[in-house]
Structure 1
Amino acid sequence: MTETLEDQQFLTDLEKKLWNAADKLRSTLDAAQYKHTVLGLVFLKYVSDSFNIRHEELKKQFQDPDHDYYLDPDDYGGAGSDEYEEELNAELEERDYYTEANVFWVPQQARWKFLQDNNKTVIGGAELTLEDGTKKKFSSIGHLIDNALDAIEVVNPKLKGVLNKLYTRLQIDQTKLGELIDLIATIPFEHKSLDSKDILGHVYEYFLGQFALAEGKKGGQYYTPKSIVSLIVQMLEPFKGRVYDPAMGSGGFFVQTDSFIEAHKGRIGEVSIYGQEYNHTTWQLAAMNMVIRGIDFNFGKEPASTYTNDQHPDLRADFVMANPPFNMKEWDAGVKDDDPRWVYGRPPSGNANFAWLQHMLYHLAPNGSMGLLLANGSMSSNTKGEGDIRKALIENDLVECMVALPGQLFTNTQIPACIWFLTKNKGERTNAAGRKFRDRKGEVLFIDARNLGYMKDRVLRDFTDEDLNQVTDTYHNWQTKEPVIPSEAEGSPDENRYQDIPGFCKSVKLPEIQKHDHVLTPGRYVGAAAEEEDGEPFAEKMANLTTQLKTQFKESDRLEAEIKKNLLGLGYDV
């Protein structure tokens, strides 16, 4: 989807309006509880809207003489007859018509209209008539919502265990819950250039980000800032193949992969999604996020620890992306010392950074590429064998690019972070996006992006599209074209060829990394930024400016004394 400025403004206004209104209804619930309350209703609204859209499509097809589904009124007593209307309504309730279009079947008691029409009625308890004519007692609005989620799960086996049926247990005023239903109902699913999936997907992602901010450190466990996810996805270009995230949170990398493919006119069906998540409620959030986006997925049989219960043991993915917990302690309970994933050394018990990295490498296909966020310490630490593991990774030519990030990018931590990009094949080949890689064996690209970005508020930093493109283009140029030799840099015939930029990027060969004891901190290699345009070194410029300022102060004192002298001569006491 390519959004116009008008589309973006529409989405921004809608998201802020909904968030501000929803936040006012929060009452006694904390952010963690309220997150599931709101997002569960957004999910219900989406599947119901998708069902309604398909319902209207089918209705037109049944009444179109040129369509295969046409119902001839003459066969049922004529147009407008009770017999014809009954037959039309019966056909519109045939589940196969929906599932063939990859639309979830939504029973009548789970459709948004049913919820909105009855949410005030059931406060304090009420009996309602269901689609099959049976009557059912509902004790509260929460009971009405849980029943809707349960009904959807029963007829859509893929959602078994995914939906968070918690509304009956919520300690929230029932009228507030009813107001929340009315609020979510205002999310439009018809727009001249945006469809239901685009609109509700944006709302869902926006709410995830806002809840992550509200929950602070805890919220960051399921949410990675969109700009960082976008950067990794842009650099890896996951156009085709298997995409895997072993610490998926709410599934941000998968959503961005889907958006990237769509924006670049790729084919969504050529990508397979695999993920794993330990936290049950976060696992549910991710599954709902995929359903809202219409993305097929495999998150394993259940939420589980990546270390002790790998849900995809035989997977070899073409792209592996993750933002695992930084510096995780006590991660290895139940993990064997001779685990086959520890090819380059057993990670220390006190820090899981290299456990995550090696787990991802283990699941990487021979021509695969991976990117993961880690704390900066991973680039230089020698604690308890970490330096030996990093050395083995470098000596085996697995490290392709290191990106140092600016601070204040995350809602949940102030720990400085970096991105590791690794691959098992630095030789010549063509990637899934059709990009022809040159032979990069024995080389590593270092990018220092710490000076990029802007402060979006007093707390958080973010990247602009220009920042993302600067890093991405540098990486892709380095991968595909022989770097410019310094002696030929001036007047180079191809301005898109990669060139080292002091203070920002440098292509480094293995012997130089060995000289630095296998430390991978970009700042150690890229050097200082180029001098300013006047060519005057900073220290020299400061000295000259200081001298100039002293001269100006002396001149100021001289002029002040002269003015006082003149005023005294005129008889004024100063």
Structure 2
Amino acid sequence: MTNTEEQTFLHGLEKKLWTSANKLLPSLDASQYKHVVLGLVFLKYVSDAFDMRRQQLMAQFQNPEHMYFLDPEDFDGGGEGADYQAEISEELEQRDYYTEANVFWVPPAARWEFIQNQNKVVITGEININDKTIRSVGQLIDYALERIEIDNPKLKGVLNKRYTQLQIEQSKLGELIDLISTIPFTHATLSSKDILGHVYEYFLGQFALAEGKKGGQFYTPKSIVTLIVQMLEPFKGRVYDPAMGSGGFFVQSEKFITEHQGKIGDVSIYGQEANHTTWQLAAMNMVIRGIDFNFGKQPASTYTHNQHPDLRADFVMANPPFNMKEWDTGVDDNDPRWQHGKPPSGNANFAWLQHMLYHTAPNGSLGLLLANGSMSSNTSGEGDIRKALIEADLVECMVALPGQLFTNTQIPACIWFLTKNKGARTAASGRKLRDRSGEILFIDARQLGFMKDRVLRDFSDDDLKQVSDTFHHWQSAPCHSALDAESSHVYSDQAGFCRSASLAEVQKHDYVLTPGRYVGAAAEADDGEPFADKMARFTSTLKEQFVESERLAAEIKNNLAGLGYEL
């Protein structure tokens, strides 16, 4: 998590870029604007990462101890010979030097310095690149993206090569290139990757606000993504999101692993997304971070064209569209995913849940954001599915969230956590898990968080830690070793916040999973006044208020009578 000084720096950068970009592209709507800006951010990001690796290689190649590729007879000791410089330049263009360091390969015509220099030329004239005549800034950018796709087959069909078709002044596009060039990369504690990654996520959030609700899709608040990732701890194994959007869960998983000294290479990323535009953005989001991924051959419906039919993931995370209707067109009623009951056509909540569960490995876990109705609804067989999930002992934890978390919906939400193995074992994080069979943890987080502005609520780092720590302490086998202070915390119920309930208790509540039913009310602080004395005082005060109320009512009647009105 960033500190106050870093936050100030990043917020200043956000304001500068968003305000300036809006002035440059006033004629575009959000759906077009998104691709214009994020496509250029993508080019800048991969190019800068490439340049940093290039500088590292240059330093190595100029060190005589590492000049294994040079002919000693060509080396004059000063590093200035023509043959020497030519060989250095040739080596710097070897793709393997970049890919071995998990750095995206950027062809010459797509490098930011080249684009920035040439965009001023094509505004007034034309240039020739590899026998192709470029006559506009839009053509220059499209060609750069085309070269990237050719050199990186995994991105084929991903990049949005439509800059030539934009109905805007070419000079404005050139100014936008210059604006993105001003993103500062020199900061005491933030890396260039952190800075540009933050810019990318910020723009995604702003576009979600600008576009509003679309087909039930909502931009997942970063704090909620962080909470699910912190609770599941995806250190090692396969991570899957069947409704991945722009890939926020994958980005946060990478950050979590990095912050906890894990290895990114220990995690495999799988995702699926039906919206072509969002599918493209997710792939770009992974590439700019050097995350390897498998998003299937194409954007497609998770229900009718499952891109990963044989996948069994260790961690499954998603924020699918809430209460999605008519989701089952073309889906077989006997689909093997519906192991706990056929979900109703009018609501896909339990279809998402069962799809995720079907793709969860035997020791895997899942975290799913759903509308609150999923915890109690008995409509069209939903109650029967929920009952089957509970009796199969798959539900591990339920978290009720506060309102006003989403930018474009007021639908109250909750998080379901399920696991296929509640038995004692060692988690991917290394924590020793106790046997939780027959238990469900309920957390009521509705009172947590703070208002970040007039309409939106958010969680603080402490809020996230309180919820995730509570879950982990409940899961963990008690350990009082001084060598493992974190594991020495023992879980205990907290009235109004959390409670561990047995399946028998849940059955008594007709299989309703709303945390408020189980955690009860928070105990009020004892002020030392005996209950009898307190009730006498309250009764006396109430009597005085009734007398005063009657006096005021009589006075109002008299005043109205004086004006010629009667009640």
Tell whether the structures are fold-level matches, with TM greater than 0.5: yes
CA contact (8 A) 1:212 1:223 kept: yes
- In the TM superposition, residue 110 of structure 1 has moved relative to its aligned partner by 0.9
> Structure 1 residues 503, 317: closer, same or farther in 2, change over 3 A?
same
Give the structure 1 partner of residue 280 of structure 2: 284
1:229-260 CA-partner distances (Å, limit 9, x unpaired): 01101111111111100000000100111111
Matched, 1:22 2:46: no
Secondary structure of the residue aligned to 2:284 is helix
- In the TM superposition, residue 71 of structure 1 has moved relative to its aligned partner by 3.8
> Structure 1 residues 18, 384: closer, same or farther in 2, change over 3 A?
same
Secondary structure of the residue aligned to 1:142 is helix
CA contact (8 A) 2:62 2:79 kept: no
Give the structure 2 partner of residue 371 of structure 1: 367
What is the rounded CA distance, in whole Å, between the counterparts of 1:545 and 1:204 in structure 2? 57
Give the structure 2 partner of residue 209 of structure 1: 205
What is the rounded CA distance, in whole Å, between the counterparts of 1:539 and 1:285 in structure 2? 65
1:181 corresponds to which of 177, 188, 201: 177
Where has structure 1 moved over 6 Å in runs of 4 or more?
A: 535-543, 549-555
What is the rounded CA distance, in whole Å, between the counterparts of 1:546 and 1:264 in structure 2? 57
1:184-333 to 2 correspondences below 5 Å: 184-218=180-214, 221=217, 223-333=219-329
Give the structure 2 partner of residue 432 of structure 1: 428
- In the TM superposition, residue 195 of structure 1 has moved relative to its aligned partner by 2.5
Secondary structure of the residue aligned to 2:117 is helix
Relative to structure 2, which stretch is displaced further, 515-524 or 526-535?
526-535
> Structure 1 residues 550, 41: closer, same or farther in 2, change over 3 A?
farther
Q: CA RMSD in A?
A: 2.6
- In the TM superposition, residue 81 of structure 1 has moved relative to its aligned partner by 3.5
1:67-216 to 2 correspondences below 5 Å: 67-69=66-68, 71=70, 74-75=73-74, 79-123=79-123, 126-130=125-129, 134-216=130-212
Identity of aligned residues (%): 74
Secondary structure of the residue aligned to 1:66 is helix
Relative to structure 2, which stretch is displaced further, 5-14 or 400-409?
5-14
Matched, 1:356 2:345: no
1:417 corresponds to which of 413, 416, 420: 413
Question: What amino acid is the match of 2:101?
Answer: A
What is the rounded CA distance, in whole Å, between the counterparts of 1:511 and 1:527 in structure 2? 17
CA contact (8 A) 1:408 1:460 kept: yes
Question: What amino acid is the match of 1:317?
Answer: A
Question: What amino acid is the match of 2:87?
Answer: E
Question: What amino acid is the match of 1:154?
Answer: I
TM-score (norm 1): 0.89
- In the TM superposition, residue 97 of structure 1 has moved relative to its aligned partner by 2.4
- In the TM superposition, residue 409 of structure 1 has moved relative to its aligned partner by 0.6
- In the TM superposition, residue 543 of structure 1 has moved relative to its aligned partner by 8.3
1:324-372 CA-partner distances (Å, limit 9, x unpaired): 0000000001100100000000000010000000000000011111110
Give the structure 1 partner of residue 382 of structure 2: 386
Relative to structure 2, which stretch is displaced further, 202-211 or 383-392?
202-211
Relative to structure 2, which stretch is displaced further, 432-441 or 14-23?
14-23
CA contact (8 A) 1:219 1:412 kept: no
- In the TM superposition, residue 219 of structure 1 has moved relative to its aligned partner by 9.8
CA contact (8 A) 1:138 1:144 kept: yes
- In the TM superposition, residue 498 of structure 1 has moved relative to its aligned partner by 1.5
Question: What amino acid is the match of 2:369?
Answer: L
What is the rounded CA distance, in whole Å, between the counterparts of 2:215 and 2:8 in structure 1? 27
1:55-83 CA-partner distances (Å, limit 9, x unpaired): 21222222111115464675167743333
CA contact (8 A) 2:218 2:321 kept: no
Matched, 1:506 2:499: yes
Secondary structure of the residue aligned to 1:366 is strand
1:170-224 CA-partner distances (Å, limit 9, x unpaired): 1222222111100110113344433332221111111111211222213983631
CA contact (8 A) 2:499 2:518 kept: yes
Give the structure 1 partner of residue 468 of structure 2: 472
> Structure 1 residues 252, 539: closer, same or farther in 2, change over 3 A?
farther
> Structure 1 residues 41, 545: closer, same or farther in 2, change over 3 A?
farther
CA contact (8 A) 1:127 1:136 kept: no
CA contact (8 A) 2:216 2:322 kept: no
How many matched pairs?
540
Give unmatched runs, 5+ long, in structure 2. Answer: 480-486, 549-567
Question: What amino acid is the match of 1:514?
Answer: Q
Secondary structure of the residue aligned to 1:121 is helix
1:29-40 to 2 correspondences below 5 Å: 29-40=28-39
Give the structure 1 partner of residue 517 of structure 2: 524
Relative to structure 2, which stretch is displaced further, 391-400 or 25-34?
25-34
What is the rounded CA distance, in whole Å, between the counterparts of 2:535 and 2:110 in structure 1? 70
Question: What amino acid is the match of 2:257?
Answer: I
1:108-156 CA-partner distances (Å, limit 9, x unpaired): 21111111112122126x33143xxx44322321111111000111011
What is the rounded CA distance, in whole Å, between the counterparts of 1:381 and 1:197 in structure 2? 44
Question: What amino acid is the match of 1:12?
Answer: H
- In the TM superposition, residue 438 of structure 1 has moved relative to its aligned partner by 1.1
- In the TM superposition, residue 481 of structure 1 has moved relative to its aligned partner by 4.6
